[in-house]
Each structure stands twice: as structure tokens, then as C-alpha cells.
Amino acid sequence: MSETTEQVKSAEASVRALYDDLLAAWNRGDARGFAALFASDGVLVDDDGGHVPGARIEEHLTPFFADEVPASYVSKVREVRPLNDGVVLLCAIAGMTPPGRTVLDPAANSVQSLVAQKQSGGWRIALFHTTPARYRDRPELARRHADELREILHRSAGRPGGP
């Protein structure tokens, strides 16, 4: 059975909110909140290539958050599209601001992919993958990435909860 336009829009909005919740949990240093967004059989692939099963994400992140205040994510969703009924792909670019700062660290720029599945309890992350954005021999892409994120940072700086 194919989804209606309204169902697709609702799914896309739900997955955007799921992604926003994921980054907000990271920015708070909330390992439990971050992990709770994953399906039990979901997978986190972090920027060093490590694969962490959903059931071990909290355990994986807790020591990291206990030892340091994480850099905060700034992101821009580039695409959200259904892959199948109850499965949605989200693609985004991201950057990070070091603790206490409002300037992006270009070395932390990344490309992120999230696959979400609709389950009985709502939308859950089946896969979240972060890849460093190096853009070898393509400085115009690196500039575009940074410029888009700086624009978002600039807009959010004047809002409550903004950097």
C-alpha cells in the first residue's frame, strides 16, 4: 500500500524532528537521550568508522560525555525522502562549534546520513552515519559547506537557545 502525500509529509517532518532531537541530545551531552532515539537493532557509525549497535550506544558515549563537554553540532538538512513505506532517508551537512565558542571548527565539518524506521512506538533511527567532509581537491565545496553552516549559526545567534 502506497503512502499518501500527507503521510509522506508527516513522515518527513517526523524524521527531521528525530534528527533535530539527536543533535540536541549530543549538544547537551546526553548519552541516554541520544541512544534512546535508536531502534534496538539500529547502528551508529561514527566519524572514525566505528560501528556501535543500538543497545550499546549509551555505554559507548557515556565516558566521552563524562570526560569533556562536547562540541555543539550545527546542521543543515539537504534532503529527506522516503525509501519505502515506513523507511525514510535524511541527508545533512554538519559542523561543530567548540565549547564556549560560536565559530565553526572547519576540521569538524561532516556529512551525515540517517535512516529512520517507523515502529510501533514511533520513528526510530536504524542507521546514523557521520563522515568527515574533506572535499579533497574541491575547495569550492568546502567553502559552500562552511558558508551554509555559518549562515545558520548567524541566524540562530539571536534566538533563544541559539549559540
Residue 124 resides in a domain = yes
Residue 9's pLDDT is 93
Residue 162 resides in a domain = no
pTM check: above 0.75: yes
Q: How far apart are CA 48 and CA 123, in angstroms?
A: 26
Residue 4's pLDDT is 85
SS (H, E, C) the chain: CCCCHHHHHHHHHHHHHHHHHHHHHHHHCCHHHHHCCEEEEEEEECCCCCEEEHHHHHHHHHHHHHHCCCCEEEEEEEEEEEEECCEEEEEEEEEEECCCCCCCCHHHCEEEEEEEEEECCEEEEEEEEEEECCCCCCHHHHHHHHHHHHHHHHHHCCCCCCC
Residue 2's pLDDT is 60
Residue 139 resides in a domain = yes
The C-alpha cell 567553502 sits at 143
Q: How far apart are CA 72 and CA 74, in angstroms?
A: 7
Contact predicate 4/11, CB 8 Å:
no
Residue 39 resides in a domain = yes
Residue 161 resides in a domain = no
Residue 148 resides in a domain = yes
Q: How far apart are CA 158 and CA 138, in angstroms?
A: 32
CATH number, residue 88:
3.10.450.50
* Number of domains composing the chain: 1
Residue 160's pLDDT is 42
Residue 22's pLDDT is 98
Residue 84 resides in a domain = yes
Residue 154's pLDDT is 85
User: At residue 71, what is the residue type?
Assistant: A
Domain span at residue 40? 5-156
Residue 45 resides in a domain = yes
Report residues of the chain scoring pLDDT below 70: 1-3, 157-163
